[in-house]
Chain A
Amino acid sequence: MIETKNLSKIYNPGKFEVKAVNDVSSIFEDGEFTSVVGPSGSGKTTFLNCVGGLDKPTSGDVYISGENITSLSGNDIIQYRLKNIGFVFQAYNLIPVLSARENIEMIMLLQGIHEKNRVERTNELLNQVGLYEMSDRRPSELSGGQQQRVAVARALASKPKFILADEPTANLDTSSTSNLLDIMSKLNVNEKITFIFSTHDQRVIDRARRVITLEDGKIVSDKKK
């Protein structure tokens, strides 16, 4: 379970301060498939970054499975993210010099997983996202949709309980979006992985079982389907 308590992120405190996230308290149960929506500048990405420990909140706390991750710093938070949270970014953010297979494998390498297990898991993930045949291609040799599927596989590599996806379909066409959402839905249902998306995309919102709407950094609605 992820819980945020009075979470705030203020940029330029004092002069010209911008409250990107403003006193947000919320709970995400295990196995949720949730979209965080809202207009541009509503604080979706900042909220997700704070939840995932990428960004340090100005105030408030984030508890993941009971552990307050806002108290972690330096290498501890990096290690926490590595083991517990998978990220999927709008711009895919794959390492350009590594192949699809190596991008996925790198996460497990960072975790010190044995080569045999790494290869098995990578093959499994590549099959899950339907890219086994293209495993040796570099990101520049893959389409946007294929790159995002590699990014999802990479996020899953460490077998995280939570995947935070920041506008994962923003750069994808309809077919790629549908394909990606199918994959993520399947993982959510079959492997009980919690997905939290920030998105503008109605196709994603339609698939989500819970939709949280942010405006000016505050939750203005929280609907479960």
Chain B
Amino acid sequence: MILKIALRNIYRNKKRSLITISSIFAALLLIVLMRALQFGFYDKLIETVVESYAGYVEIHADGFWDNQSLDNSMVVDQNLMDDLKSVEGVDNIVQRLQTFSLISMGDKTKGGVINGINIKEEQKITDWNKKMVSGSFDLGEDEVIIGKGIAKYFDVVENDTLILYGQGYRGMMAAGKFPIKGIIDLKNPDLNKLGVFMNMETARNYVSSDEISTHIIIDKKQYYDEEKIANDLSQILSDDFEVMTWKQTLPEIEQTITADSAGGLIMAFILYVIVVFGMFGTVLMMTEERKYEFGVLISIGMSRVRLFGIILVETIILSMIGVVIAILITYPISYYYYLNPINMANLMGDGADMMMEEMGFSPIAPMSISWDIPLSHALVIFIFSLIISIYPAIKIMKLDPVKSMKA
């Protein structure tokens, strides 16, 4: 009966109900689309960064991150790899051997980061093979691929030779001559100035160890949470290893997203204020207009709690209708723009695509289709409905049926 009365009351004042539903719908539509675009952009940003260099999750020997020396490297056997693959959400896994070296040619010398990689496996995680400016990604023995910043610094091209000089494993000297197989543009100025890539065997020879790695890079399956994966990995690994997510290895990306997301939240908050005042106005009018009716219901024997239940159900139904319509409309829109991403460069004008690509960002921004976005905001509206219902609850608890029926 409560539901029946609530539904009929909503229908009784069609215009007011429609205005309330519309305000909730409009605000939620804007909030959800704005957040979907924002989170889609973040996902793309993370994907771009992760595909450029870092993995969603990294494993190192314990202490490596604070002291990035080959002495803190690790030996990775097949059993360990099998254990890692058994964790839910783990997709591709690659090993890398990373060390710092001097790069020299003629009378010029600069520092660089040597990356020993498994060419085949690496292509499952990163998109380096697509970022070659010249030459080939198909590295042979004792060959290197260098970032375009290094190429520019030394003014070298494919087939020129660089000298690498540094410290090998356990104090051994590392030195060698390496012809350039290709030049890569990693879309990141720092990586372009530092990155030198060689295959794993060449790198291990260079540092005089035939079995060590410094990084295990883990790619996750879509929609899995990297934090959970990192946590699960920590559970199965001994204390000899440290597990880090991209949020720890690339904190500046996390900070950028957090700062930008705060802007979105402020906008969402402003829209919520509008919605809440709209809903509160409706509830306020409804309570005042129906004091007489409330008095009658109490006088004929309806308990105040049950009466409050009617108002609560009305408020929740009104807000949920707005929420459901907003979700039904925003989700297909988000899905469309997920499949057909918005080109931010088109929105920003000529040259924006070049600028964004130079910065390492893809100008393509798909909308996020995560259900977390509409559902979390629906939950916020639901909670606001409950809070708003406190006003009629207080009025009903204090209501004097005789006075209200005289009004």
Contact = CB atoms under 8 A, between A and B. Distances in A.
B159 interface: no
Interface residues of B, number: 22
Contacts of B4: 98, 102
11 contacts: A75-B303, A79-B301, A81-B299, A87-B299, A87-B300, A93-B296, A95-B5, A95-B293, A95-B297, A97-B9, A107-B301
A109 interface: yes
A26 interface: no
Given A97-B5, A97-B8, A55 B402 contact: yes
A154 B300 contact: yes
Given A89-B296, A110-B306, A81 B402 contact: no
B401 interface: yes
Interface residues of A, number: 24
A49 B300 CA distance: 12
B75 interface: no
Interface string B284-304: 000000000100111111111
Contacts of A41: none
Nearest to B12: A97
Contact of B296 (A49, A55, A95, A158): A95
B347 interface: no
Contacts of A54: 299, 401-402
Contacts of A78: 298, 301-304
Interface string B1-29: 10011001101100000000000000000
Contacts of B297: 95
Interface of A: 49, 54-55, 75, 78-79, 81-83, 87, 89, 93, 95-98, 102, 106-107, 109-111, 154, 158
A97 B297 CA distance: 13
Given A82-B300, A82-B301, A96-B293, 19 more contacts: A75-B303, A75-B304, A75-B305, A78-B298, A78-B301, A81-B300, A81-B301, A87-B300, A89-B405, A93-B299, A93-B300, A93-B405, A95-B5, A96-B12, A97-B11, A98-B5, A110-B301, A110-B302, A110-B306
A49 B406 CA distance: 12
Among B11, B302, B304, B305, the most chain A Cβ lie within 10 Å of the Cβ of: B302
Contacts of A83: 301
B302 to A, nearest CB: 6
Nearest to A50: B402
Interface of B is mostly: helix
Contacts of B305: 75
A202 to B, nearest CB: 25
A54 B299 CA distance: 6
Interface in B65-84: none
Contacts of A93: 296, 299-300, 405
B6 to A, nearest CB: 9
B249 to A, nearest CB: 61
B299 to A, nearest CB: 5
Nearest to B403: A55
Contacts of B12: 96-97
Nearest to B400: A55
Contacts of B293: 95-96
A100 to B, nearest CB: 14
A110 B297 CA distance: 11
A13 B233 CA distance: 76
A102 B246 CA distance: 62
Contacts of A110: 301-303, 306
A81 B296 CA distance: 12
Nearest to A53: B299
Contacts of A102: 1, 4
A101 to B, nearest CB: 12
B341 to A, nearest CB: 48
A62 B42 CA distance: 72
Interface string B103-114: 000000000000
A150 to B, nearest CB: 12
Among A78, A110, A154, the most chain B Cβ lie within 10 Å of the Cβ of: A78
Contacts of A87: 299-300
B218 to A, nearest CB: 60
B206 to A, nearest CB: 83
B2 to A, nearest CB: 9
